[in-house]
Structure 1
Amino acid sequence: MGKVLVLNQDYSALSVCTVPKAFLLVYMNKAEMLAESPNDFLRTVSSEYPSPIVIRLNHYINLPYRGVVMSRHNIFKRDGNRCQYCGTHDHLTLDHVIPKSKGGKTSWDNLATACKRCNSRKGDHTPEEVDMPLRQRPFRPSFLMFIRDFSGLADETWLPYLGSKERSR
């Protein structure tokens, strides 16, 4: 079974959950189903229910700022699992764009996916010093951007609720 986009009462994206969890929220009148799968159904012995794709909570949930956790896995996702110098998918690691020895921080804005070969070639230098331009500058993705563009979970039905694909950096 797939994943379900959960919206807050104000239609802002809140999270992603499993189909059974979303169905339970709808069944218990804690959420309403905004989109359902035309092909998938939840079946009991005597009934058949549509499988939710997007649900909206009936009561507003106040959450503090929600960001994406900076992890090796999430940086690889952001960078499309390819080296930001040569474009290969093989032997990936993380590179500090500005080396730590030159004051570079371990942050979304300074970490990029690099293959072992490029990381070794760049060494303790900046990309400009060794003429190795980045395919894209590292950036911190927003929660919505991460669900929409990098998580691999987004269903076409979710897109109207996640906003346009224009990336604001």
Structure 2
Amino acid sequence: MSDVLLLNFTYEPLGIVDLARAVRMLFARKVEIVHRGDREIRTTSVAFPLPSVVRLLYFVKRHRNKVALTKKNVLLRDKYTCAYCGTHSGREMTVDHVIPRSRGGRSVWENLVASCSTCNARKGDRTPDEARMPLRRVPREPRFIPWVVVRRHTAPDEWVKYLSLYSVGIEERVS
């Protein structure tokens, strides 16, 4: 079965539901189809398009849960891109403390960045200024991010425009 992106009344992504649930919600008049998939259900007299994205017809207040601080979520926030050199290498990425723990740096969103193993080893136990390795982006705590639930590279193309509105995890450094 296919998955369907569920949007709030305001087009904010709420999550992913399976196709059967989306169809039940559609026939119960709880959702409308925002984007039709390329498949359909056919009866003898009518064809129903299968949804890929649905939107609730009423507003649901979502709890603003914090995103768990994990290595995977830091890498997702930083899009598997090194904060020092900008390389994109999923398998060899590590998480670096901007202010080293030995210098009082804490394990918080604002002090953790994705780093390739080469840059992490080069920076070592120094600050970015001491190592002459400026950050390309300023890390910050992310809001609710749908790509924590769905990796953008596996999301269908028709989902991306709804997910991209909420996928900002790092601010670009203003020069």
The answer, yes or no, to whether TM exceeds 0.5 is yes
**Cross-structure match for 2:95:** 94
- Using the size of structure 1 for normalisation, the TM-score is 0.75
Structure 1 pair 32–161 and aligned structure 2 pair: CA distance change class (3 A): farther
Please tell me whether the aligned partners of residues 22 and 52 of structure 1 are also in contact (alpha carbons under 8 angstroms): yes
Answer yes or no: is 1:128 the counterpart of 2:125: no
**Cross-structure match for 1:26:** 26
**Residue 42 of structure 1: how far off its partner (Å):** 4.3
Aligned pairs for 1:70-89 within 5 A = 70-86=69-85, 87-89=87-89
Unaligned runs of 5+ in 2: none
Please tell me whether the aligned partners of residues 68 and 146 of structure 1 are also in contact (alpha carbons under 8 angstroms): no
Aligned pairs for 1:49-88 within 5 A = 49-86=48-85, 87-88=87-88
Aligned length, in residue pairs: 167
Structure 1 pair 16–145 and aligned structure 2 pair: CA distance change class (3 A): closer
Identity of aligned residues (%): 34
- The one-letter code sitting in structure 2 at the alignment partner of 1:81 is Y
**Residue 94 of structure 1: how far off its partner (Å):** 0.7
Kindly provide the CA deviation profile for residues 73-113 of structure 1, in whole angstroms up to 9, marking residues without a partner as x.
12212222132223251521110111122222212211111
Structure 1 pair 9–107 and aligned structure 2 pair: CA distance change class (3 A): same
Runs of 4+ in 1 over 4 A off after TM superposition: 42-48, 144-147, 160-169
SS at 1:80's partner residue? coil
- The one-letter code sitting in structure 2 at the alignment partner of 1:114 is S
Structure 1 pair 168–117 and aligned structure 2 pair: CA distance change class (3 A): closer
The RMSD of aligned alpha carbons is 3.4
SS at 1:20's partner residue? helix
Kindly provide the CA deviation profile for residues 48-91 of structure 1, in whole angstroms up to 9, marking residues without a partner as x.
43121221223432222144333211221222213222325152
Most deviating of 25-34 and 156-165? 156-165
